[in-house]
Structure 1
Amino acid sequence: METRQVGSTGLRVSRLGLGTLTWGRDTTAEQARSLLQTYCEAGGNLLDTAAAYGSGETERLIGRLLGDVVPREDVIIATKAGFAIRSGQRVVDTSRGALLRDLEGSLRRLGTDYVDLWQLHTWGEAPLEESLSALDLAVAQGKARYVGVSNFVGWQTAQAATWQRALPGRTPIASVQVEYSLLARRAEVEVLPAVRSLGIGFFPWSPLGRGVLTGQYRNSTPRGSRAASDHFSWFVEPYLEQRSRAVVEAVARAADGLGLTPLQVALLWVRDSPGVTAPLLGARTSGQLMPALAVEDQELPAQIASALDDVSGGPMAARADERVATG
């Protein structure tokens, strides 16, 4: 699989990442093993997780698979800290102490001495400079190689990146991770311009519109799908309204004309959008993952990408600028 540089750092990752949100809950240990094997055999190397996923069980599962399925040094492990679900309640704590405790827990569960990319999971109430000092310390101690932020809006991303650049010795922000797909293009307003200007990598989560862009909900809600589950239905429902249906139908028509699946068309649109480093795939089984991996040598025709821009929210200024720059 082709690799891409993460912003202006020396870190390189495969241009499709593997997300692990469902591992240990909706994805069994055996399914996770199969997913990791399939992904690594295709040349993938970016494994994204978080201390909060499965209340730590996801990282434990990854730790059991590392060294067995794939050597630790062959995988880029990205994890996150500062967010948790406790007693059914969302808890955000981005204080220095809480972040460092999260990191120690992640290292213990993953069975590794370091993570390749350690990220603030969300913006918190602690002073930003305090949160960022935890990132600096983690790198200084060799417990993280690169650092990033997740779910920051544009001004928050710019503020964090600028603070880290203000004095020598601070660790630059390498990446930002937010939702981005044909059904969620808000990142184009501020986040993507910020990352392009500041030389930061960009990892879109939910590039398939929380599964809706695969077309599986066109006629009904399949049993076993996220929308049919008690704990994920709230996550999918916002994208089942009328505007989303028009986008899904456009993706399906493009797929028919190109001999691809809707999943593949939606993924290609994200993967090759200006500023994107690597979309994070949230497949729950290797059967769901394989069609995504099969697009390695594919790309959308320019006119199809532009048509999807138009139907999903309007022309993409960065795409036009990119075409002008490349002649």
Structure 2
Amino acid sequence: MQRNRVGTSGLEVSELALGTMTWSRDTNADEAGGQLDAFLNAGGTLVDTAASYAEGGSEALIGAMLGGTVARRDLQICTKAGIRRTASGGFVDASRDTMLDTLDESLARMGTDHVDLWLVHAYDSRTPLEETLHALEIAVNSGRARYVGVSNFPGWATARIGTLATGRPSIAATQVEYSLLQRGIEREVVPAAADIGMGVMAWSPLGRGVLTGKYRSSIPADSRAASEHLAGFVDPYLNDHSTTVVEALATAAEGLGATAQELALGWVLAQPHIATAVVGARTAEQLELSLNATRNRVPAAIVDVLDEVTAPPLGYPERR
């Protein structure tokens, strides 16, 4: 598997990152272990998690693996903080105390003294960016995080925190949703990241699973769209536009002897602004289909056609 630099930082990661959002909840320890084995055997290095995934269960499962047969040196760990859980639910909180307390809890769950990349999970409109940035600075200076970044930040906030970081540990990465069904970051986030030197990490590069083609005729009983806690995550992409894109993918895949999943993920990997794409799966077999995208590159002509079919509308002020 190819390795890429994350922006202009010194951090180098595998072009695919293993997503663990469902670990310990929908994906049990045996399946998670199978996924990690397949990922490492394919040359993958970066595992992506968050303190809020399964209320810490994902990180705890990673910690159990690190305490067993997986060596810490074989993994690069990316985790996130900034979602605080209360009795009434979770809310965004990127304050300094919550961020640092959450990081310490993450390290304890995973049984490690540092993470390779630590991200602010979401933009917090109530906390000054200077305060959030100070938490990132403390994490790096204390050795608890090697690199830091943001996630789900709008373009202006991406540019602002990157500029504020001048003279401090730089903001190495921004993790944002990106796929053939969601190309909104191309308007402002990608240009901002490029100007500052941030690498872009794509989450949900398979359009929340819709681009695999599994929903072409129905909703499988074992799919995310049929899950009580994930149905709302998938539903926004079960629409006419998605159907058009999925059918175009299916047609191209048939002609190439590939799968729609390989083409959808391959298109993301072909974008020069993407450092890594985060892929999750329920089983090791599902993950193998994503790993195939790193072995069989999408022809440039197909990339161009998919670009044209899915190009996001641009208007003022991006285009005049």
Q: TM-score, normalised by structure 2?
A: 0.95
Q: 2-side partners of 1:233 and 1:62: how far apart? A: 25
1:27, CA displacement in angstroms?
0.5
Matches within 5 A, 1:151-162: 151-162=152-163
CA offsets 1:12-69 (integer angstroms, 9 cap, x no match): 1010100100001000111111111110111100000000111111111000001533
1:4 is matched with: 4
Q: 2-side partners of 1:43 and 1:20: how far apart? A: 17
Code of the residue aligned with 1:282 in structure 2: it is: G
Q: 1-side partners of 2:90 and 2:146: how far apart? A: 28
1:70, CA displacement in angstroms?
2.2
1:140 is matched with: 141
Specify which of 217, 223, 247 is matched with residue 215 of structure 2: 217
1:89, CA displacement in angstroms?
2.1
1:234 is matched with: 232
1:196, CA displacement in angstroms?
1.7
Specify which of 272, 275, 283 is matched with residue 273 of structure 2: 275
Q: 2-side partners of 1:109 and 1:28: how far apart? A: 17
**Gapped regions of structure 1 (runs ≥ 5):** 317-327
Q: 2-side partners of 1:314 and 1:200: how far apart? A: 22
1:202 is paired with a residue whose SS is strand
Deviates more, 1:262-271 or 1:306-315: 306-315
1:73 is matched with: 73
Over 3 Å counting, the alpha-carbon distance change for 1:138 and 1:258 in structure 2 is same
1:315, CA displacement in angstroms?
9.4
Specify which of 259, 263, 270 is matched with residue 261 of structure 2: 263
Matches within 5 A, 1:307-322: 307-313=305-311
2:318 is matched with: none
1:85, CA displacement in angstroms?
4.2
1:52 is matched with: 52
Query: Contact 1:306–1:315 (CA<8 Å) still a contact in 2?
Result: no
**Gapped regions of structure 2 (runs ≥ 5):** 315-320
Q: 1-side partners of 2:281 and 2:211: how far apart? A: 13
CA offsets 1:191-220 (integer angstroms, 9 cap, x no match): 111122221111100000000000000000
1:73, CA displacement in angstroms?
1.2
CA offsets 1:293-316 (integer angstroms, 9 cap, x no match): 122232222221111111112599
Over 3 Å counting, the alpha-carbon distance change for 1:69 and 1:187 in structure 2 is farther
1:186 is matched with: 184
Q: 1-side partners of 2:294 and 2:208: how far apart? A: 21
2:291 is matched with: 293
Over 3 Å counting, the alpha-carbon distance change for 1:132 and 1:244 in structure 2 is same
Q: 2-side partners of 1:41 and 1:70: how far apart? A: 12
Q: Percent identity?
A: 51
Over 3 Å counting, the alpha-carbon distance change for 1:116 and 1:66 in structure 2 is same
Residue correspondences, number: 313
Code of the residue aligned with 1:14 in structure 2: it is: S
Q: 1-side partners of 2:178 and 2:92: how far apart? A: 22
Code of the residue aligned with 2:159 in structure 1: it is: A
Say what the alpha-carbon RMSD is for the aligned residues: 1.3
Over 3 Å counting, the alpha-carbon distance change for 1:298 and 1:88 in structure 2 is farther
Code of the residue aligned with 1:179 in structure 2: it is: E
